Amino acid sequence: MVRRKVLKFALVAAVALPAAGVTELPAIAGGQPALDDGAIIAIYNQVNSFDIETALLGQVMGHSPDVRALGKMVSSDHTGVRKAAHELAEKIGAELTLPPARMEAAKAHYAAVAALRELSGADFDAAYLKHEIAFHEAAIEAVKTVLVPAASHGELKAHFEAVLPHFQRHLDETRRVAGELGVE
């Protein structure tokens, strides 16, 4: 039971922080977060990396074949997206600088990973699927409401608009697998 409580706490923190870490940054006049494109892409890469790492856990530790297949798709897609973001940063000359506030998100993520690694079988599948649903809901919201409005380069905005349907597809597929396995 203690283990489950730790996992629940870590998952909630990891999900809440990607957006919170952004909005806690110093604001400029007008209340907009002071994020330049280099910081936006660095945050975006960090969140993609979080999802790659948890998806690889799903791919390797998943009990259900559907969970393993989901993990494989998500890890592969986000690896491609992270590569595209790096290439875009080079193209538009954005210097990647991760805001120090994002350390808290990293801590929460690694707590969630450690908690997931303690589980196995159907318990792992349930915890993993819940994590992925909450994570994608928060990530999609953060991209739409924080990163897209803050992005100054047109190609960066276009990148986000292009990947959002794929993130939504991950969320939809994760919800489908959760439904099939009776995970609520």
List interacting residues with Fe ion (CB under 5 A).
74, 167, 170
Choice between 24 and 79, CB closer to Fe ion: 79
Of 49, 67, 40, whose CA–CA distance to 148 is shortest? 40
In whole angstroms, the minimum distance from the beta carbon of 6 to Fe ion comes to: 24
Assess contact for 69 and 36: CB atoms under 8 A: no
Choice between 36 and 175, CB closer to Fe ion: 175
Distance, in Å, from the CA atom of 63 to the CA atom of 178, rounded to the nearest integer, reads: 13
Choice between 156 and 163, CB closer to Fe ion: 163
Q: Angle of helix 121-142 relative to helix 103-117, nearest 10 degrees?
A: 160
Q: Residue type at 134?
A: A
For tokens 């997206």, what's the residue?
81
Assess contact for 147 and 163: CB atoms under 8 A: no
In whole angstroms, the minimum distance from the beta carbon of 174 to Fe ion comes to: 8
Per-residue exposure over 111-142, b if at least 16 CB sit within 10 Å of its own CB, e if not: bbbebbeebeeeebbbbbbbbbbbbbebbbeb
In whole angstroms, the minimum distance from the beta carbon of 100 to Fe ion comes to: 25
Choice between 11 and 74, CB closer to Fe ion: 74
In whole angstroms, the minimum distance from the beta carbon of 12 to Fe ion comes to: 19
Structure tokens at 69: 């297949």
Longest Cα pair distance anywhere in the chain, in angstroms? 51
In whole angstroms, the minimum distance from the beta carbon of 44 to Fe ion comes to: 12
Choice between 36 and 66, CB closer to Fe ion: 66
Closest residue to Fe ion using C-beta atoms: 170
